[in-house]
A and B are shown apart, each in its own frame.
Chain A
Amino acid sequence: MTLNGHQDFLDSVSKESFQMRPRPTPPASPRKSKKKGDSTKGSENDPFYFENIGLERLLDGKETPEAMQLRHWEYERKWSQMLSSVEKSLLIENSASFNDIVSFVDNSYSSNEIETSFQAFGLPYREIPTALVFTGINSPDNELLFTQIAQRLRETRSDYVVMLQSKDCGSLKMTMKCLNDQVLDSMNDYENQDEMNDADATDEVIFDVENDKFAEGHLQRYDMEVLAEWYEDKRKKNNDADFWKVSFKDKSLSAKVVVLIQDFEVFDPSVLEDFIYICSQYQDRVKFVFLLGIATTINALQQALPSSILNSLRMKKIQLQNSERCLDRIVTAVQVENHTGIKLGKMPYKYLHETFLLYNYSVSSYISKLQYAVMHHFFSNPLSILAGIDDQELLSRLSILSEDHLEAIRMQKSFMKYVEAQLPDSDEVRRLLEDNAYLESLLPRLIKGIEQYHKKFSIAFEFLWILQQTLIDYKDPKINVDRKTKHSLYYLAIQEDGGLCDAYHTQKLLVNLKKIDSSCLSDLLQKCLEFLYTNHYANSCLTQEMSEIENFSVRLRDIEQTFISSKNALFPLTHGEEESTNTLYTILLEQVREFFDAFFKYNLKHYSTVTLHEVVYYENEKLLKHMFSAHPRAATQKALDTCILYKMYLEFGKMINMYDWLMAFKSILERDGPIDEKEIQARFISGVTELQTLGFVKSTSRKADHFQRLTWAR
């Protein structure tokens, strides 16, 4: 038995938990030279650091330690680059809505709002400005978003920001306490900071007064009066005390209490109802602003709260993030515009794409899967050290490459294809396969080729996007184009083995291109040129294409100038028409189409045509599925297929008589001769207990000595 040697720890279990601390080992053994508190502990100077964190030497253990370390460093570098670019693009996506929220909070009590006019008329009720923040269904992502909003509000505003979460607010009392605690605590932090900055003794006094109030026990922490009094106190101080200038730069904005309710649907409606009512009653004393995070629709709000409460809210809708647009951003950042990082191959991309759109709409889980893919790529692929590096790095990497690395390169499918393509030149082939130095000298070109493919691909992809958007904006009934999001466009690019150019969608776009009028064409060319001018790579390497488009543009202007007097715009020649101006335009249009067709054909090739794409693309879809979409039940049921008790279990109805089960079990066991009664019973009991732990049966009191069956589907 494997575990025999460890029998002691297996059988002696008496405590709920067991602690093991790092054992200080004698320094004599070089393998375990680390001690707790040793300065080299956990540091990268430790010779065994990389093996200790779980890295393995690849290439059958022949990988050099340097190459192994490099994989780890590269993983950390590449992933942090990718993550930061994803985060940046998501932030851009949300920044507009964030600005909306901030300006809403700022203007919520400004004079031109309706609120004041109500008060001016002396109407008996007051409304709390409320922003309904529609967040989309994925609550884990929302948590992050709300933290960001809170941070943003705290950073720049003078307001007190309170985050209420349903889990802390089971009752009205807890909700109020939560509110008070957060407001008062946040101010403590403020004051402590001020104290440190200014060494001003006055605030300490004020603070003590505050504490005394609780100490005397006049008011409970969950009493709104506490907040109100404290708030008024602060405002008074704010008006005459100087030190507030430090924390509140803008005195015209008097501080508001911003209440963020992140998961509205999860709240107990009655708690919320009372809470809002109390707040509205105190509104003349404390300036409340509510932000309600709603994951579903506004109906949820209308159903949860009575109209009397809804009336006391002045609502404004703010759409926070659109999951699909976020996915667009991520795909653009990771797959299209990322020229140096790791990319998802065909099947992994499909898996991530589908789990996002069909299962959870979760940005965070998409990112986590992506991280796993990148991590595993560096963990398992010895060639990953060649991914996305610049010229200088490449030179240093070449020195690290061992013979085994080169052998691994020769084993790559795409490299074999490359060799086959050289076949007429047999000398070249021999050198490629046998001469290590030659292969090494070739590597920079091949590695550079991957990067160039990506750069060109991203430009062509953007062109295709511009083409699609222009055709859609053109809004002509003759033009029949589907609107595809970027992520689904990329999905086409990666799924179709012929590349995006052969895709039906692209061909359709090109066909429709022939139907546009001259103003639309000039629009399209202009957009393409603008994009090219801003693109760094295109400026240096795509000069020919650029001049070609410029040329088209000039020619179009010429034709327009010559003939525009008669019409507003030129239309392509349709069948049977004969007109000289339009002929020229039609020829130009055809040339533009041919240009795009050729450009797409050359640059939107499928990645698998690129030599050594294996270095950059992660292909292990099965592993991703195992890691993130596991089927514990199916696995267990499969393993149980040899179990006698389980086989019998499948035959039973919803109730199982234990005695009969045992008898049936016994009859099968005793087919080959009698067995000790006790043994049968013991085996039966342990088996049934196991099935019970696994969740197949549970005991029931409905009938004596019966179990209830819990699963049916196989």
Chain B
Amino acid sequence: MFTKNKIISQSNKEIQVPLHEVNVIIEPFEYELKQAYKPTVTRKMHNPIRKTSSRIASLRAYNPFVVNKENDSDDEGTLNLRGGKKRRVGTFERQLRKVLKEDNEEEEEEKVEQVQVIKSKRTRQVIAVHERDEKGWERYFADHSASSARTSFHTLSKLPAFEQKDLIETINSLPLKHQDQLDLISKKYETLFSQWYYQLRCGFNIICYGYGSKRGILEKFARARDDIHVLTINGFMPKTTLKTILRDIIQGYLNEQPRGSMEQQTKNIVTYFSAPNCEIDKLYLVFHNIDAPQLRAEQTYHCLSIIASCPNICLIASTDHINIGLLFDQMTTSRFNWLWFELATFQPHKIEHSFQNSSLMSSESELSPQAVYHVLSSLSQRARGVFKTLIEHQIAEAEKSSKHLKPKDTGIEYNILYDKCRREFHVNSDNTFRGHLTEFRDHRIIQSYRSAYGTDILYVPLDSDRLKGIAEKLEELGED
């Protein structure tokens, strides 16, 4: 008790409080004030919790973590401010209560209540402050703390199915808005063309960024003149790769077949175009979406930058990705010698996106209920029965469990499924059963793995909601 008092008396006068500690005990407007006047605050404790402040001070002396923090309070960056704060408030409060409970004086009991009242008010205010301040990095840590990551279990299977073709048709049928303004913007950008020509000729390369499809503008640029050599590269097409780009240049201009490694081909191109007697005076490369996912490799930009650095080749590229800067390292940046133009056209990415398989649509890697349904409808009644037995098991397993199970965890052992199917007269021998399974596997509607006990586990890689939908459709099929 004696030592405790001593510490209290020592630190009663003035306490060095790092920012995150302060905002627990001071008024919220003061907290904001502190935000403005960073970083360490030396302040005198005062109302309404002056008396508890001594407690807090003693706590700090006990808690090595807090003391430590105090020592290097200057290092307290804004980065972990938010994520860390919540947690620390919790432990802080707990310890505070613990210490206060140790003393049996009445006065202290009162204080506990007082502190709790203030505390709860504080927490609310702190949360309010969190919501108000929109600093991204603070949001980042808040969002990545475990509690806030909760989302619902709704899935898109509740929605009616949508085919890609259907989707494109619907999008195309939507009316275009603000057409006049968009046209005005585009017209405005067209006045830049002559400047672009001049800058490209002077050895710079141009990259256009900003929201909206820039394809229309760049195509116009490419076709604005008919006395120059232009090669348009559609980066947004998934089949466009470094290989095809080099091939097209070599076949188109060098009139030979591509040979050797990518670097070698690049070298050949540059040698051809840098020759003083080169037939082509300036080749304009118009590159749509240089940031396309399939191009994002070190080698691609390495080779492209070497080509672009050739004085006789002018590159004008467009990009959509917000982190485009990360694609180029110091070397390639210096070779590209970019001039950045903001070209916010606000035009829809119609062409560009029609090549992308949206993950919202049925994609190859993931099994879609439609695919399963199509396969099943072409199979025999008995095969459907086998499949139905399997998914009914999976649905039952998923419902039994309180947790959200992955499809893999709801699978069924080979032998058990065989027994079930035989009992329901779907199959009469192991051979036919195997035959059905092979058929399913060939269409990739079931998967299997070897369990820890060495038995094969079979499952359909879909969650229970989707399986239910399939089961319903199977019922319909069965009735037909």
Residues of A with C-beta under 8 A to B211: 635-636, 639-640, 694
Docked complex Cα distance between A514 and B111 (Å): 71
Shortest Cβ distance from B252 into A: residue: A19
Residues of B with C-beta under 8 A to A635: 209-211, 342, 344
Docked complex Cα distance between A704 and B404 (Å): 10
B344 CB to nearest A CB, Å: 5
**A143 touches which of B201, B215, B237, B331 (Cβ 8 Å):** B331
Residues of B with C-beta under 8 A to A706: 151
12 A–B contacts, CB within 8 A, in A order:
A22-B226, A25-B227, A53-B198, A54-B199, A54-B200, A360-B330, A632-B322, A632-B340, A654-B148, A654-B149, A657-B152, A693-B356
Is A686's CB within 8 Å of the partner chain B? yes
**B322 touches which of A371, A683, A695 (Cβ 8 Å):** A695
Is A56's CB within 8 Å of the partner chain B? yes
Docked complex Cα distance between A706 and B351 (Å): 26
Question: Across the interface, do A16 and B239 meet the contact criterion of CB distance under 8 Å?
Answer: yes
- Binding-face segment, A307-315, A534-542, A674-682: A674-682
CB contact list, B305-340 vs A, under 8 A: 319-325, 330-331, 333-335, 337, 339-340
Docked complex Cα distance between A696 and B341 (Å): 21
Is A660's CB within 8 Å of the partner chain B? yes
**B334 touches which of A362, A626, A662 (Cβ 8 Å):** A362
Shortest Cβ distance from B167 into A: residue: A682
Question: Across the interface, do A19 and B322 meet the contact criterion of CB distance under 8 Å?
Answer: no
Question: Across the interface, do B358 and A659 meet the contact criterion of CB distance under 8 Å?
Answer: no
Is A688's CB within 8 Å of the partner chain B? yes
Is A655's CB within 8 Å of the partner chain B? yes
* Chain A interface residues toward B at CB < 8 A: 1-3, 6, 9-11, 13, 15-23, 25, 32, 34, 41-42, 51-56, 138-140, 143, 167-168, 360, 362, 364-365, 368, 371-372, 375, 379, 626-628, 630, 632-633, 635-637, 639-640, 653-660, 662-663, 677-679, 681-683, 685-686, 688-690, 692-696, 699, 703-706, 709, 711-714
If A20-B232, A694-B320 touch, whether A630 touches B151 (CB-CB below 8 Å) is: no
Is B219's CB within 8 Å of the partner chain A? yes
B170 CB to nearest A CB, Å: 4
Interface of A is mostly: helix
Residues of B with C-beta under 8 A to A34: 227
Residues of B with C-beta under 8 A to A22: 226-229
If A2-B186, A20-B222, A140-B335 touch, whether A679 touches B170 (CB-CB below 8 Å) is: yes
- Given contacts A19-B232, A682-B162, 4 further A-B pairs with CB under 8 A are A16-B244, A20-B231, A636-B209, A653-B148
B305 CB to nearest A CB, Å: 10
B231 CB to nearest A CB, Å: 5
Question: Across the interface, do B195 and A379 meet the contact criterion of CB distance under 8 Å?
Answer: yes
A366 CB to nearest B CB, Å: 11
Question: Across the interface, do B159 and A699 meet the contact criterion of CB distance under 8 Å?
Answer: no
**B231 touches which of A19, A138, A686, A692 (Cβ 8 Å):** A19
Residues of A with C-beta under 8 A to B337: 368
Is B1's CB within 8 Å of the partner chain A? no
Question: Across the interface, do A628 and B226 meet the contact criterion of CB distance under 8 Å?
Answer: no
Shortest Cβ distance from B321 into A: residue: A695
Shortest Cβ distance from B157 into A: residue: A705
Docked complex Cα distance between A466 and B201 (Å): 42
Question: Across the interface, do B209 and A630 meet the contact criterion of CB distance under 8 Å?
Answer: yes
**A630 touches which of B199, B203, B342 (Cβ 8 Å):** B342
The 10 nearest A-B residue pairs measured at CB: A713-B136, A54-B197, A630-B340, A54-B198, A140-B334, A639-B211, A659-B154, A712-B136, A682-B170, A632-B209
CB contact list, B189-222 vs A, under 8 A: 193-204, 209-212, 215-216, 219-220, 222
Is B6's CB within 8 Å of the partner chain A? no
Residues of A with C-beta under 8 A to B197: 52-54
A538 CB to nearest B CB, Å: 36
Residues of B with C-beta under 8 A to A627: 339-341
